[in-house]
Amino acid sequence: MEAPSYLDRRYSKQVRDNVHGHIYLDPRSSADIFDTNCRLRDLKQLGLTYMVYPGAVHSRFEHSLGVYWLAGDAVYRLKAQQGSELGIEGFDIQTVKLAGLLHDVGHGPFSHMFEHEFLPRALKNPGDSNWSHEDMSLKLIDYIVDAHHIDIGAECIQKAKSTKEKGFLFDIVANGRNGIDVDKFDYIVRDTRACGLCSNFQFERLLDNMRVIDGQICYPLKDYLTVNKLFTTRADLHRTVYLHAKVKAIELMVVDALLKADEFLQISSKIQDASQFWKIDDTILKTIEISDEQELKEARDLINRIRTRNLYQFCGEFSVPQDKQDHFKKITPQDIVCSQASSDVTLEEEDVIVSTIKIDLTRGMDYPLESVGFYENFEQKQVSKAKKEHFSHMLPSFCQDKIVRVYSRKPELGQAVNQAFQNYQEKTYGEIRSVLGTPRKLAFN
């Protein structure tokens, strides 16, 4: 993508990006933060996915630069089309771009695994369970500005962290209304390219035609299929990349390794202090691996298993029926162990891991296009909403999958765990729904 002509490049810092081409950073504030925000260079955008998709080694730093660039592109387009009526000023443009550059700064190592898998099991204080990377991002912004003496102004920082005034501007980066934002525009293109996959989602069409009506970013009704492609492509990436069964097996092993190392390395105790948290990144795996400390031996052994591909054994998965999802009861390792029939081996609960994942179109069971604002012509003054049946009868009838996966920590027990998992399905649903077993109705059902 060529650089927009509205930037004065004489005073900008130029960076070459493999997705968007040349990116130009504003002088002083953005460039200063760019130079000091090195932590994101050591956080892989897709966590441990590179162990299955070798090309997925791009960092959150690259992604954040892309979001910065697209956020600026989007707000400049709005200013060019509706600037006078929306009151968009240069100060607004700067803060939206900063929000894009810093939106992921609070992430822990290994993508969302740190927050959703490791911390809930590591934290001893129940009050710490409310920790989120969004809150840490706010703390780290203050820390980066103070620690590196960046002259950016308190008002600008406060506005970059707020979504109250001119909220439509901050929907550009992270849209809580309907999930359409430049964060997804960038990572969908960047992640598919890094993993060697194809995508025909074209975010440029949405950037070209967006406009603000009644304080909300809206899109032409004729582009509903492009919007739908955004949601379906994201869901496909979750199914085939982010939540790949082997990626998940590696994540579960790393979680176990971090838990075993936590007491010695004090990882979870650093999550509230920005001056300590910024030091935690993906290099912690190598820290454990090369250490000679006896206290880290169990964690080190697990990492060595990952390196030698002696992974936790994937023993099957099934999709929870649609009519069971609302009142789905979490399946535990005990449920699987108790379903074991007579066997030469006896399973223990610590041998089994049950992982429940959810894949949706960003709005849970709700169809996302129904929350999107549309317009039919540029003179329109009111937001148009539409029901799913108004779009197309070929769009999905159900918008969420809940998938139960079972793993064995010991590969030699994989067959026994798989059989117990199938027994559980027969007992619960009257059929084997696992992809590792041929679904069949029981004779008595």
The residues with which 17 forms a beta bridge, in sequence order, are: 21
Distances (CA, A) of 118 to 13, 206, 253, 265, 299: 38, 37, 11, 14, 14
Cα 421 from Cα 317, distance rounded (Å) = 9
Is the C-alpha dihedral spanning 149, 153, 157, 158 positive or negative? positive
Mark whether 133 is an active-site residue.
yes
Instruction: Give, as one character, the DSSP assignment of residue 301.
Output: H
Of residues 58, 133, 238, 327, which has the active-site annotation? 133
Distances (CA, A) of 119 to 115, 133, 157, 259, 311: 6, 12, 28, 9, 22
Cα 185 from Cα 371, distance rounded (Å) = 18
Query: At residue 321, what are phi and psi to the nearest 5 degrees?
Result: -55, 150
Nearest to 415 by CA among 354, 349, 345: 345
Structure-derived torsion over alpha carbons of residues 313, 316, 319, 320, reported in degrees to the nearest 10 = -90
Cα 424 to its chain centre, rounded Å, is: 31
Structure-derived torsion over alpha carbons of residues 42, 45, 47, 51, reported in degrees to the nearest 10 = -100
Cα 423 from Cα 336, distance rounded (Å) = 8
End-to-end alpha carbon distance in the chain = 58
Sequence-ordered list of residues with C-beta below 8 angstroms from that of 6, at least 6 positions apart, any chain:
76, 80
Residues 345 and 413 sit within 8 Å (Cβ to Cβ): yes
Cα 20 from Cα 89, distance rounded (Å) = 25
Kindly list the catalytic residues: 133
